[in-house]
Amino acid sequence: MLQQVNVGHKSLRDYATLATRGLMEQIRELAEPLAGKRVLHLSATAFGGGVAEINYTLVPLMSDAGLETEWRIIHGEDEFFEVTKTIHNALQGSPQGLSEEQEETFRRYNELNAGRLEGEYDFIIVHDPQPAAVREHFADSDTRWIWRCHIDLSTPNEDVLGFLLPSLARYDATVFHRREYVPQAEELPMAAIWPPAIDPLAPKNMALSAEDASYIVDQFGIDVTRPLITQVSRFDPWKDPLGVIDAYRLVKETHPEVQLALVGSMAHDDPEGWDFYNQTVSYAGGDPDVYILSNLNNIGAVEVNAFQVHSAAVLQKSIREGFGLTVSEALWKARPTVGGRVGGIVDQVEDGVTGWLVDSATECGEDCIRILSDPGTAREMALRGKEHVRRNFLTPRLLRDWLVLFNRLLGNDTAGAEIATVAARV
């Protein structure tokens, strides 16, 4: 059988004071007709990246709402994850396609994982491209299959998208972060549109005092008496850590005391991560005020929280981005936030109101200078951003959206609790 992830237990009651008024009652009403339904989440890895972080909260909350919910991980060797990383990059616009050998590797591992998938489920949620073709091996399934896409498909490599479409066409529904990500393909089933969310009670986002944050950050060699700029993300060219270093160097010209932390994680399904990590270290050129840290330096959820809380500015200078939940994480902590003007970041940051959106390293550096020069105004903007996150990007709202879709696929009435949907785009 496929490896099951132990997610522990979470209670919806603990979120009652954080969710918007009426949302918890809506969740209860939507969950009633779904009591006892069996749900499987299927993904490529149990750590590293937004999908895993979301599932560690969403899966136990689905269970607490009355659904029998599991999360299992597909098996794959390096050859498979090298192919799926190529697919991931291509769906976000990379021109590199797949060879016939790579296509065969993808099909072979999906068939292997389908053979290991046991049990009966009412709903199977397949996350991202890695296990997308598992669905093809269950032609007579009465299960409702849902493909959840967490990446930006606004300008995909059409050849690679075309390779996946026969598999995606077999699903009962798809889910995308934004309307712009729904491919123009008549093969796709109905698409639901909703953003992901953060868990405000998880160690990564729970309340942490400034004193505790300083103590933790100090353990990594940061001078806590000097300003710190931080970006939290994978070591990935789409996250543009080299551009972050360029922005930092511009800030350094007027604020020589500033420090930079690039905090990431090395994920099992990202074989390119080490190469780009090494490129980032090389680009930093041995600057003693640049700290490049990962889970291999004992950076975990609490440490990420501390770096964000302690930072004068938090960046997410992506050049392509599915959504970028690190932005909501920073705003939830009321930290001044600068993000790339791409993908779902623009849904989280209103430029000049709750944070700053940038198109270049120069703009990023200039906005960091504004934050350091006028921290009072920056703080006011961040507080507005925190309220925006509370209303739109916390886990109870995400759970509610899934319950609406489940009910809709079963033909149950969801009046008063709608989700945005689009038919296939042709």
Residues 256, 343, single domain; the answer is: yes
- Any domain includes 301: yes
- Any domain includes 110: yes
Where on the phi/psi map is residue 335: left (φ > 0), alpha (ψ -120 to 50), or beta?
A: beta
Residues 216, 172, single domain; the answer is: no
Residues 319, 185, single domain; the answer is: no
**What pLDDT does 409 receive?**
96
User: pLDDT per residue over 114-173, tens digit each?
Assistant: 999 999 999 999 999 999 999 999 988 899 999 999 988 999 999 999 999 999 999 999
User: pLDDT per residue over 360-414, tens digit each?
Assistant: 999 999 999 999 999 999 999 999 999 999 999 999 999 999 999 999 999 999 8
CA 39, 40, 46, 47: dihedral to nearest 10 degrees? -50
Neighbour count for residue 119 (Cβ, 10 Å): 11
User: pLDDT per residue over 218-265, tens digit each?
Assistant: 999 999 999 999 999 989 889 999 999 999 999 999 999 999 999 987
Decide if pLDDT at 21 tops 80. no
User: pLDDT per residue over 75-104, tens digit each?
Assistant: 999 999 999 999 999 998 999 999 999 999
Residues 127, 186, single domain; the answer is: yes
**At 209, is the pLDDT very low, low, confident or very high (cuts 50, 70, 90)?**
very high
**420-422 and 191-193 as β-strands: parallel, antiparallel, unpaired?**
antiparallel
**At 267, is the pLDDT very low, low, confident or very high (cuts 50, 70, 90)?**
low
Residues 154, 230, single domain; the answer is: no
Residues 121, 263, single domain; the answer is: no
- Any domain includes 202: no
- Any domain includes 274: yes
Whether residue 143 contacts residue 426, with contact meaning beta carbons closer than 8 Å, is answered with no
Residue 340 lies in domain: 210-392
- Within 13 Å of residue 255, how many CA atoms lie on the same side as its CB? 23
User: pLDDT per residue over 176-186, tens digit each?
Assistant: 999 999 998 88
- pTM equals 0.90
Residues 151, 215, single domain; the answer is: no
CATH code where residue 184 lies: 3.40.50.2000
Residues 355, 407, single domain; the answer is: no
User: pLDDT per residue over 294-331, tens digit each?
Assistant: 888 899 999 999 999 999 999 999 998 989 999 999 99
**What pLDDT does 49 receive?**
74
Decide if pLDDT at 270 tops 80. no
Secondary structure (H, E, C), the chain: CCEECCCCCCCHHHHCCCCCCCHHHHHHHHHHHHCCCEEEEEECCCCCCHHHHHHHHHHHHHHHCCCEEEEEECCCCHHHHHHHHHHHHHHCCCCCCCCHHHHHHHHHHHHHHHHHCCCCCCEEEEECCCCHHHHHHCCCCCCEEEEECCCCCCCCCHHHHHHHHHHHCCCCEEEECCHHHCCCCCCCCCEEECCCCECCCCCCCCCCCHHHHHHHHHCCCCCCCCCEEEEECCCCHHHCHHHHHHHHHHHHHHCCCCEEEEECCCCCCCCCHHHHHHHHHHHHCCCCCEEEECHHHCCCHHHHHHHHHHCCEEEECCCCCCCCHHHHHHHHCCCCEEEECCCCHHHHCCECCCEEEECCHHHHHHHHHHHHHCHHHHHHHHHHHHHHHHHHCEHHHHHHHHHHHHHHHCCCCCCCCCCEEECCCC
- Any domain includes 147: yes
> How many structural domains comprise the chain?
2
**What pLDDT does 424 receive?**
52
Residues 169, 233, single domain; the answer is: no
**What pLDDT does 271 receive?**
65
**At 425, is the pLDDT very low, low, confident or very high (cuts 50, 70, 90)?**
very low
**What pLDDT does 426 receive?**
40
Decide if pLDDT at 268 tops 60. no
| Rounded-to-integer distance, Cα 389 and Cα 325, Å | 10
- Any domain includes 13: yes
Residues 385, 399, single domain; the answer is: no
**What pLDDT does 269 receive?**
58
**What pLDDT does 65 receive?**
98
- Any domain includes 204: no
Residues 381, 414, single domain; the answer is: no
- Any domain includes 312: yes
Residues 166, 294, single domain; the answer is: no
